[in-house]
Chain A
């Protein structure tokens, strides 16, 4: 694996993670290791604990056991602000401040880097400019976020997360409300983010996109990881049956033998 990074960071490690609510475990004994430059997609049926896993990795939910190491450091040994230097999360349906512009939103991504004596450094400026460029939202910089289409808005949110300059980027269903073209746009962008040396973990409910765009697929059911590995190796009829209780044919894409799941009609 080659990346343009000269100084690869350790990526993301999750060790023996248990999380949940009193009397209701949601995530059980999850071990993950996603190196820098990799995209991992978490898939599984609704309610399998995907989002809780992602929230726990983002330090929004305290694990009952186990540890999350971002960039080699246990995130619970850091302050909220320090974590914001290592891990960025795009929630599934984020709410922006009223009347914020695209540039205004992306600037908020620099918040963890700013302080009383450092309110708008050149580095902040560069990060925002690069994030706008990378997401193709430069031309929208002055527009108000609430007047954009869903696909444009999602790219702007991604720009905010990228401007945060974290080695680990977490995305919760980044494509859930988008049409196919915008899904491909967003996932292509995700690949570019990883190619620049970041670690991306995203929750996706669409197994086909996950198989195509992820280096590692993490299949979860009932809070446990049931399969983990490259999509070409782990996606088969048995996995689809186990995850979704669904009979399906697995085809191979002509170009790259990427697995394509075609569900059979339920009889």
Chain B
């Protein structure tokens, strides 16, 4: 792993922790006229007199010589100005970390919001349940009916909603970053149609018209996405290409599903419809546990990739020359997005707009220079929890969460499309 460049590395760093200038720095400082590199910076370096090299000791130094990298006590740029604006540096020995201050602040804001929403969602019902009853149900001290409703139905359902939302949010964040486009969501790579087709196939195949095992949805979603990626020429290819092929393949898969559905009876169609609109109704730990295990595995990977994903915002050549293996990074991010969206859609059905909205909201909160992985997870979780609770409260008959997000998501999409971003001047 050690690179052959003789670039300075921690072991060769002669610098004392304090950052004071040591002996070799002194002559350098003298040989530096204030002119070209002084605080008046933009005036630029002096012009040369000919091909004879200007005595350029001011140049950035020291590809090889360790003493040349010795710190200079420099008044022009305080160290704090060089640190990312939204972070705090923590150092110990040869280790150093950047603590994302703004990111932490955003998380500190979103986590309480999510907790409150979860509490409200556990309470929410069309019949009304008092906070006291809910709490007693949760603690198991209430009457058995309440305990059963809260512990066996609502709490697992809300938890599944949180996980589905987090997965959709992160998947959307990954696809948006990959494509460099805020409208690029996992649905565009066939995840929804694939999951729906798998569910339709099992429902059509069974004599009772029942929707099959929960894992068929994720399987269908991942299969469709793999098909899209293969058609697009591999996961390393440019983001837009995968998306364009995805739109075509999804349409074909969706049409095939519709074809099968049109030959089925109303009973099957009704069951599949409820699934295909996106609903958390009846979801419990039966699906929640495997979902939790998958997320515990995938979310840390997405978080770890977040820093590297920032480099996808450069052009390909620049990113590659900054040490990013683009094909591998793209393939990994796409695989993560497909897996996350696949399990989410497989469990909760194709819930609209969360994967689109969560990363946009999180991006606004955490600033334009970050890839908001954590923020997207929290925002997605909050959106689904709120939408599901709302769907159980507003109408006499429960509204599926997918219907609520669609109703709220339409106006949001219009807002994204028409609002000019004040910070970038871009639409």
Q: Give me the interface of A with B, judged by CB distance under 8 Å.
A: 4-9, 55, 58-60, 70-73, 78-91, 93-101, 103-104, 107-109, 111-113, 116-134, 136-142, 151-152, 155, 162-167, 181-182, 184-185, 187-189, 191-198, 212-215, 231, 253, 255-256, 258
Contact = CB atoms under 8 A, between A and B. Distances in A.
**Secondary structure dominating the interface of B:** loop
Interface residues of B, number: 83
Given A108-B311, A121-B96, A123-B13, A162 B7 contact: no
B95 interface: yes
Contacts of A5: 63-65, 68
Contacts of A253: 50
Contact of A167 (B5, B57, B98): B5
A8 B423 contact: no
A172 B96 CA distance: 34
7 contacts: A6-B67, A7-B6, A9-B63, A81-B3, A108-B314, A189-B45, A197-B64
B396 interface: no
Contact of A125 (B17, B46, B79, B423): B79
Contacts of B13: 122-123
Nearest to A196: B59
A86 B65 CA distance: 15
B59 A134 contact: yes
Interface of B: 1, 3-10, 13, 15, 17, 19, 36-37, 39-65, 67-69, 71-72, 74, 76-77, 79, 81-85, 87, 89, 91, 94-98, 304, 310-311, 313-315, 317-318, 320-325, 368-369, 423-424, 426
B36 A136 contact: yes
A84 B322 contact: yes
Contacts of A113: 7
Contact of A94 (B55, B81, B317): B317
Nearest to A133: B37
Given A108-B311, A194-B53, A139 B41 contact: yes
B377 to A, nearest CB: 19
Given A139-B41, A164-B322, A192 B3 contact: no
Contacts, number: 291
Contact of B62 (A71, A136, A196): A196
A51 to B, nearest CB: 10
A82 B1 CA distance: 7
Contacts of B76: 133, 138
A191 B48 contact: yes
A89 B424 CA distance: 27
B65 A6 contact: yes
B314 A125 contact: no
Nearest to B15: A122
B56 A196 contact: yes
Contacts of B6: 7, 9, 71, 167
Interface centre among A133, A139, A191 (most CB of B within 10 A): A133
A59 B423 CA distance: 36
Contact of B69 (A59, A111, A126, A162): A126
A167 B45 contact: no
Given A82-B3, A111-B323, A132-B77, A196 B47 contact: no
Contacts of B68: 4-6, 196
